[in-house]
Structure 1
Amino acid sequence: MRENTPPRAKEIEQADGELIEFEDDVPPDDEQELEEISMEELEERFGYTSDESEDDINDKPYGIPERDDAVLTFTKHKRAAFGCALHPSRPLAVTGGEDDRAYVFNVHTCELVYDVTGHKDTVTDVLFSHDGTYLATGDMAGDLYIHKLQENESGGPVTFRRVWEYQMGDMTWMLWHRASNVLLAGSESGEIYMWRIPAGDCKILPASGVRCNAADLAADGKKLFVGYSDGVVKLWDLKSGTVIMEVDEQNPMAHDSAVLCLTCDKESPLYASGSINGKILFCTNNGPVGAVETDGSVECIAFSPSNELKLVASGTLKGQIAIWDYGKYTLRTICDHVDVEGEESERYHGGITSLVWFNEHTLVASTIGGVVIAFDARSGARKFILEGHMAEIYAMKYSPQENILLTVSEDHRAKIFNVPPLGD
């Protein structure tokens, strides 16, 4: 899977810029009269003329799904949509995409509320602050914008106003602090930036010379767990700007491939990181304490919201959804996400792109196949499946207050699903 954007169609080019000549290529005779043809005639000859706009052509490959469980579909994006978020207290959603745009819209009507312009590269991260006062949007080139929510005293719709911006170089991830208006972001060159918003005061955690792939805040909000492309993980103290725990190649338990994802337990000082080679490493403030092996590249990890159950889920590029007991570092169950369509036919939904716990017993996964599947974490049995996307789902966000799920996809669309009853 991707590091900071999903895989795109590969560009074909010749190594070292070498000119390729073919024997069948015959240069035109200088004395031969060449046919004059207009651009319009050329387009018509090759079938390019149409009443369709460029936007219609971009949407054409995906068409209409055979089954669509979504209650609303947002269609403003003209290319793949990568990031999404839900406002903590208002019926607002935000999405960002490859069309260099971010949009805020109403989750009940899909009515556009705010169009974020100014980005010049793929908008990969869109985030509301912990109290919903600010919206942060960031693109791959490292242009970051902060927009402040503006209350309407007359009772009309809320608006947003850009109040801060920064250019940091190529960005790999971005997150808000859970309890204060502090924004953090990682870079391609390895630095980690922290800003106090809206003042813009900046602190930079130094680079180690390799790409900073992923990060998450520790339970106490004072430390940051970070994974790098060389397999190293570090626990940073945010106040002092120093590393208080590091697992590098000198440690026998260290990752031997790039760290792709990681997460922090929200109730205890326990951290988990997953790498390309399928290893999940568990650490405390003092260092590594255990490890497990999956069936392939670990794309996402998520701790259960119940610390008593001691469960963590992982999803891989090969499609394995595993639930682990991190008290014993053993496999608890495998979630089956193959659709049985008769006695001899099965439909595989592809690799796992993200995992979210809806409650202590319900784990929800999004897939490359474009579906969302919920499982009972105790048994691995399926609870429900949501369809509607025509391509990979790259991100999803759940609102227990609204009981809705927001998803974004390669198919250019964002969808709102009503979540079925979860049971106990």
Structure 2
Amino acid sequence: MRENTPPRVNEIEDDDAEEIIFANDVPPDDDELEMEEITMEELEARYGYLSDVEENTEGRFSQSPERDDAILTFMKHKSAVFGCSLHPTRPLAATGGEDDRAYVWNINTCEVMLEITEHKDTVTDVHFSYDGTYLATGDMAGELFVHKLQESESGPQLTLRKVWEFSMGDMTWMCWHRAANVLMAGSENGEVYVWRIPSGDCKILPGEGVRCGVADLTGDGKRLFVGYTNGAVKLWDLKSCTVVMEVDAQNPMAQQTVILSVACEKDSPFYAAGAADGKIVFCTNSGPVGAVEADGSVEYLAFPPSNDLKIVASGTLQGQIAIWDYTKYNLRTLCDHTFVEGDNSNKFQGGITRLKWLSDHTLMAATMDGNVIAFDARSGARKFTLEGHMAEIYEMCYNPHENILLTVSEDHRAKIFNIPQLGD
């Protein structure tokens, strides 16, 4: 993993490692610094077990998983894969990763249609536009490219042509508008860029030098709910580029740690923000209205498609999947995913990296253990488990029309799964 790559979830606490101090702080003398000269063969023979560990670490993804429920596996990436997207109408997927590559490929054959090689840093975001006309890719250094999908002049073959590019400095997130060819991206200094594609006309939501880490678009597409690393959240009006609601340090309900996740309720002006200390704050257009405490850092928040139950789901790095009643601001259900289904060894499945609602009653969770697990949100009971990845899942994308799921992982792979019939 290179220096600029997003930290793995299980590396977040590396800074807490104990400091090593020499006894009495006495530096060794020159004689003690003399080193024995040995050959590489002697070194490998003496510490052969270390070489074995390194080889096992490097080679662990070359093996096949014990169980693989995927109907197709894409293996062109040479390193971790962070971003993915499914085309809304065509059998196409796009993926991007630590190898500085983005691919567009056929989800039935794995045939590569386009390899984007212009990125010079880890590709963290790849997204088809709402109607599938464009594909946007972005890397950590802030190099953004948009390609247009079009029929080839010589026949029915589909081609992709680059129509726009931009260099914005370090990028933290990127997404398309849900109903227009408008691309948005956040930056390390807190600015949010809003472009009309392909003209490139740009608006900037100003920052204050604080990293803008996460954002979500409101259901009507007119406002953007943004979370910052200083614990503040802002609701921006995209037309006027003004803040219409803000919760900052002066508000007694404000979060005190980094905002890791935000979500907007689809059909009403209701918002949720989750922080590293486990606090989830609920807001309306007027400001914060309630809060709950999750068990661990809130990696993801998600409202159901149509929210008759008035609930929101949270997933934490410590492994809690909670369903909250936001009318009473209390816990409704806990989904038990702690141990592997049917495994008597009680192997812990790790933290939650992503959540996705399949319906108003069925919630999917991606784990650090590489599984996708679906739950009945009313009872917390497990519905099904999809296995196949050998490391943490970083992103997943669902196509409800085809009932398929695309996942990408630290194990260098992208996988396509058929979703079982739910019977809700």
Could you state the TM-score of these two structures normalised by the residue count of structure 2? 0.88
Residue of structure 1 in register with 2:331 after alignment? 331
Which residues of 2 match residues 178-197 of structure 1 at below 5 A? 178-197=178-197
Q: Work out whether residues 3 and 260 of structure 1, in 8 Å CA contact, stay in contact via their aligned partners in 2.
A: no
Instruction: Tell me, yes or no, if the aligned pair for 2:258 and 2:275 is still in contact at 8 Å.
Output: yes
Note the C-alpha offset of 1:110.
1.2
The equivalent residue for 1:401 is 401
Give, in angstroms, the shift of residue 171 of structure 1.
0.4
Could you tell me how far apart the structure 2 residues matched to 1:349 and 1:58 are? Answer: 19
Query: For the Cα contact (< 8 Å) 1:58–1:79, is it kept in 2?
Result: no
Partner residue, 2:48: none
Residues 26 and 311 (structure 1), Cα distance of their counterparts in 2 relative to 1, 3 Å cut: same
Q: How far, CA to CA, are the matches of 1:343 and 1:104 in structure 2?
A: 37
Instruction: Deviation per CA, 1:29-59: give whole Å up to 9, x if none.
Output: xxxxx99x9xxxx689859xxxxxxxx9996
Could you tell me which amino acid in structure 2 is paired with residue 26 of structure 1? E
Give me the identity figure in percent. Answer: 65
Secondary structure of residue in 1 paired with 2:328: coil
Give the superposed CA RMSD.
Answer: 2.6
Name the structure 1 match of 2:60: 61
* Offset at residue 202 of structure 1 (A): 1.2
The aligned counterpart of 1:385 is 385
Report Cα offsets for 1:306-328 as digits up to 9, x if no partner: 22111110000000000011122
Alignment partner, residue 6 of structure 1: 8
- How far does the alpha carbon of each residue in 1:10-38 deviate from its partner, in whole angstroms, 9 at most, with x for none? 799x99xxxx978643169xxxxx99x9x
Change (3 A) 1:375 1:26: same
Counterpart AA for 1:361: H
> How far did 1:112 drift?
0.9
Gaps of 5+ in 2: 21-26, 46-54
2: distance between equivalents of 1:350 and 1:107? 29
Q: 5 Å matches for 1:334-349?
A: 334-339=334-339, 345-349=345-349
Question: Does the 8 A contact of 1:4 with 1:173 survive in 2?
Answer: no
Q: Distance in 1 between matches of 2:246 and 2:342?
A: 50
Correspondence for 1:133: 133
Superposition pairs of residues 5-24 of structure 1, within 5 angstroms: 5-7=7-9, 24=32
Which ranges of structure 1 fall in alignment gaps of 5 or more residues? 29-33, 48-55
1:223-262: per-residue Cα shift (whole Å, max 9, x none)? 1100000000000111111111000111111111110010
Distance 1:59 1:129, change over 3 A: farther
| Structure-2 residue corresponding to 1:87 | 87
SS of equivalent to 1:348: coil
1:193-244 deviation digits (Å, cap 9, x = unpaired): 1111111111111111211010111122111100000000000111111111
Tell me the residue number matched to 1:78: 78
Shift of 1:415: 0.5
| Residues 302-355 of structure 1: CA deviation (Å, up to 9, x unaligned) | 001122111110000000000011122111100001336779631221000000
Distance 1:65 1:260, change over 3 A: same
Post-superposition offset of 1:362: 0.6
Instruction: Tell me which protein shows more helix as a share of its residues.
Output: 2
Measured in 2, the distance between the counterparts of 1:197 and 1:242 equals: 22
- Structure 1 residue aligned with 2:285: 285
> Equivalent residue for 2:142?
142
Show the 5 A alignment for 1:72-221: 72-153=72-153, 155-221=155-221
Q: TM-score, normalised by structure 1?
A: 0.88
Whether the aligned pair in 2 keeps the contact of 1:5 and 1:82 (CA below 8 Å) is: no
Whole-angstrom distance in 2 between the partners of 1:343 and 1:105: 35
Matched with 1:294 is: 294
Aligned to 1:51: none
Q: What one-letter code is carried by the residue in structure 2 that aligns with 1:60? A: G
Does residue 238 (structure 1) correspond to residue 238 (structure 2)? The answer is yes
Cα distance in 1 for partners of 2:6, 2:388 equals 24
1:26 to 30, 34, 49: 34
Contact 1:3 1:213 in 2 (8 A): no
Distance 1:391 1:163, change over 3 A: same
Distance in 2 separating the partners of 1:182 and 1:327: 33
- Number of residues of Structure 1 aligned to a counterpart in Structure 2: 400
